[in-house]
Amino acid sequence: MLNKSFRIFIVLLGLLAAFLPLSVSAAPAPDPENTIYLDLPSGRVVIQMLPAVAPRHVARIKELTRKGFYDGLPFHRVIPGFMAQTGDPLGNGSGGSGQQLRAEFSREQHIRGTVSMARASDPNSADSQFFICLAPSPFLDGQYTVWGRVVSGMEFVDKVKSGSQYNNGAVSNPSKIVRMRVASDVKP
């Protein structure tokens, strides 16, 4: 009896092994041309850009990044449990690069780590300012252009200095971007 049960077990084990992969493959490496290194005082944040979702915004972010536009800019608006916003050379939320972009709204969700464009009331007013969601914010879905996702380093975004809850998240003496680079431009 035991011998027959053992043989059945071995047969079943063999069948199971036939359907399992021989090796576990790792996730594909990120495309360096569509990866941003956002260096903060506390560490590096890696953002995977989404060119299939927002091609014009991704192209503009890469263009500004390659010009060094974002280096040294403050996180001027940070609302705990919501988002951290940067990309304004004036540091008060009213500045930009001078080139507005047409909206590229999508079905991408604003979850923790989503990187999305800030804008005024005009849907086509996004420029250089962007925000990183600190928590799910589904009320933003379909109304702001999502262009990336943080794939590592959210713990460093969490360390960005928070703003005043009484002044729409405005930050005094804000944390600043040390440097922002397209990964393909960074030498190992």
> Would you list the domain boundaries of the chain?
31-185
Supply the pLDDT for residue 165.
79
Token pair of 116 as six digits: 């999305």
Q: How far apart (Å, rounded) are the C-alpha atoms in residues 183 and 188?
A: 10
Instruction: Tell me what pLDDT residue 4 has.
Output: 63
pLDDT range class, residue 28, cuts 50, 70, 90: low
Neighbours of 151 (CB within 10 A): 14
Per the prediction, the chain carries an average pLDDT of 89
44 torsion bin: left (phi>0), alpha (psi -120 to 50), beta (else): beta
- Write b or e for each residue in 12-39: b if 16 or more Cβ atoms lie within 10 A of its Cβ, otherwise e: eeeeeeeeeeeeeeeeeeeeeebbbbbb
Question: Using an 8 Å Cβ cutoff, are 86 and 130 in contact?
Answer: yes
Q: Which CATH superfamily is domain 31-185 in?
A: Cyclophilin-like (2.40.100.10)
Q: What is the per-residue pLDDT across 107-165, written as a single tens digit (0 to 9) for each? A: 999 999 999 999 999 999 999 999 999 999 999 999 999 999 999 999 999 999 999 87
Using pLDDT thresholds of 50, 70 and 90, give the confidence band for residue 11: low
- What is the longest distance spanned by two Cα atoms in the chain? 82
Phi, psi of 116 (to 5 degrees): -140, 155
- Quick check: 13 pLDDT over 50? no
pLDDT at 16 over 80: no
Q: Give the pLDDT score at 5.
A: 58
pLDDT above 70 coverage of the chain, percent: 85
- Between 24 and 43, the more confident residue is 43
